[in-house]
């Protein structure tokens, strides 16, 4: 299967290169100064790739070294689910980065400040609400799909869901850093977090097994979030209180699911947490009708803009 994949991938790439026009290989105009700027901007991303490799594979390597091989499969299943959700989160910069780059180029810091103050808590709020129900579904969905022997994967996945709340904020921070030429600092933070993850794995996996790897990943993502928003707070007047409050509600709900042994109690915990989440969002004004003025001038996809405006009308 591996050789079939390699051969098919090579065949597709060779076909693409042969069928591409000569402009694919030879640029219309070579601008040396612009090329140097592009290279200076791009080379720090090599560290991001290295850091991503550490995050992706160091957990598996250390679990394999300190734990039975069976635990590698249990952790891999939970981490695969985590990776699939994180891949969806990484679609957000595709939309947000061009918006923030254009605002930075036009020197419209007032609109960027409003965007950060209002939109970041809103996006984090919506994802946190979704994660609550994903956690509940995973408790029976993973054993149902893969068998009772993989039920432990559901508990590991719940810990990684806490990590995903931090991942939402980190992904939103990436667009801000790219737009305001702070890529190098972002890369150094990611690299430091990957080293932190490696060290925590060495400490926690021998002690509490595969749950230690999940906790190490969560703490590393928390480390990234704290430093990201420390930098953003220096550049913009960003208040983190609402985001932390709703993240705390989500974390308490997930902890309740981890400690609960009864399916009906898990449903009750989730419904209570969701109710507090919604009432808290309304009372603290996470969505307001005047927020529609933020979305109106932004070049967002039509369906996304309409959805956000409807949420502002209903929720506000």
For residue range 28-57, list pLDDT tens digits in order.
677 788 877 777 766 666 666 666 666 678
What does the pLDDT average to over 290-315? 73
Q: What is the mean pLDDT of the chain?
A: 83
Count how many residues are written for the chain: 316
Query: Which pLDDT value is given to residue 316?
Result: 61
Q: Token pair of 210, please?
A: 């595969």
φ, ψ (nearest 5 deg) of residue 80 = -65, -45
Q: Token pair of 293, please?
A: 């003025």
What does the pLDDT average to over 98-127? 79
Whether the CB-CB separation of 161 and 254 falls below 8 Å is answered with yes
210 to 75, 110, 203, 215, 216: CA distances (angstroms): 6, 46, 12, 9, 10
For residue range 211-255, list pLDDT tens digits in order.
999 999 999 999 999 898 888 888 777 767 778 888 889 989 999
How far, in Å, CA of 316 to CA of 285, rounded?
A: 7
What are the start-end ranges of the H helices in 180-240? 183-208, 210-235
Query: Which pLDDT value is given to residue 90?
Result: 81
How far, in Å, CA of 154 to CA of 156, rounded?
A: 5
Among the ranges 19-28, 73-82, 97-106, 171-180, which has the highest mean pLDDT value?
Answer: 73-82
Distance of CA 112 to the CA centre of its chain: 21
How far, in Å, CA of 83 to CA of 124, rounded?
A: 18
What does the pLDDT average to over 64-92? 87
Lowest mean pLDDT among 73-87, 97-111, 155-169, 246-260: 97-111
How far, in Å, CA of 271 to CA of 98, rounded?
A: 37
Whether the CB-CB separation of 121 and 281 falls below 8 Å is answered with no
Of 162, 137, 140, 159, nearest to 151 by C-alpha is 140
Lowest mean pLDDT among 33-42, 104-113, 294-303: 294-303
- pLDDT of residue 7 exceeding 90, the answer is yes
Query: Which pLDDT value is given to residue 218?
Result: 92
User: The whole model's pTM is what?
Assistant: 0.79
Q: Could you give the percent of the chain with pLDDT greater than 70?
A: 89
How far, in Å, CA of 168 to CA of 39, rounded?
A: 28
Whether the CB-CB separation of 122 and 312 falls below 8 Å is answered with no
For residue range 180-205, list pLDDT tens digits in order.
777 778 888 888 888 889 899 999 99
Query: Which pLDDT value is given to residue 44?
Result: 61
Query: Which pLDDT value is given to residue 200?
Result: 92
Of 277 and 298, more confident = 277
- pLDDT of residue 9 exceeding 90, the answer is yes
Query: Which pLDDT value is given to residue 175?
Result: 81
Q: Could you give the percent of the chain with pLDDT greater than 90?
A: 19
Query: Which pLDDT value is given to residue 45?
Result: 63
For residue range 137-159, list pLDDT tens digits in order.
998 889 888 888 888 899 999 99
- pLDDT of residue 170 exceeding 90, the answer is no
What does the pLDDT average to over 270-278? 91
Query: Which pLDDT value is given to residue 5?
Result: 92
How far, in Å, CA of 24 to CA of 18, rounded?
A: 10
How far, in Å, CA of 134 to CA of 145, rounded?
A: 15
């Amino acid at each position: 299967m591996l050789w079939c994949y390699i051969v098919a991938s090579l065949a597709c790439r060779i076909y693409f290169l042969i069928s591409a026009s000569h402009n694919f290989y030879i640029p219309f105009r070579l601008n040396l100064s612009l090329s140097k700027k592009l290279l200076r901007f791009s080379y720090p991303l090599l560290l991001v790739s290295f850091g991503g490799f550490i995050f992706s594979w160091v957990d598996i390597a250390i679990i394999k070294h300190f734990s039975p091989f069976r635990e590698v499969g249990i952790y891999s299943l939970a981490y695969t689910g985590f990776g699939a959700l994180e891949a969806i989160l990484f679609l957000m910069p595709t939309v947000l980065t061009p918006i923030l780059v254009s605002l930075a180029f036009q020197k419209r810091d007032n609109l960027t400040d409003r965007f950060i103050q209002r939109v970041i808590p809103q996006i984090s709020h919506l994802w946190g609400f979704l994660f609550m129900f994903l956690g509940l579904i995973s408790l029976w969905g993973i054993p149902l799909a893969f068998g009772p022997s993989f039920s432990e994967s559901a508990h590991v996945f719940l810990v990684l869901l806490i990590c995903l709340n931090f991942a939402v904020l980190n992904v939103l921070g990436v667009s801000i850093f790219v737009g305001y030429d702070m890529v190098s600092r972002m890369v150094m933070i990611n690299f430091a977090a990957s080293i932190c993850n490696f060290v925590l794995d060495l400490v926690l996996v021998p002690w509490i097994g595969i749950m230690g790897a999940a906790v190490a990943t969560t703490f590393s993502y928390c480390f990234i979030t704290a430093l990201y928003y420390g930098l953003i707070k220096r550049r913009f007047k960003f208040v983190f209180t609402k985001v932390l409050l709703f993240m705390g509600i989500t974390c308490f709900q997930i902890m309740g699911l981890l400690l609960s042994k009864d399916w009906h109690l898990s449903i009750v915990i989730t419904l209570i947490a969701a109710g507090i989440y919604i009432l808290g969002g309304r009372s603290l004004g996470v969505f307001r009708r005047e927020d529609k003025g933020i979305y109106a001038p932004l070049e967002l996809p039509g369906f996304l803009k309409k959805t956000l405006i409807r949420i502002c009308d209903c929720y506000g």
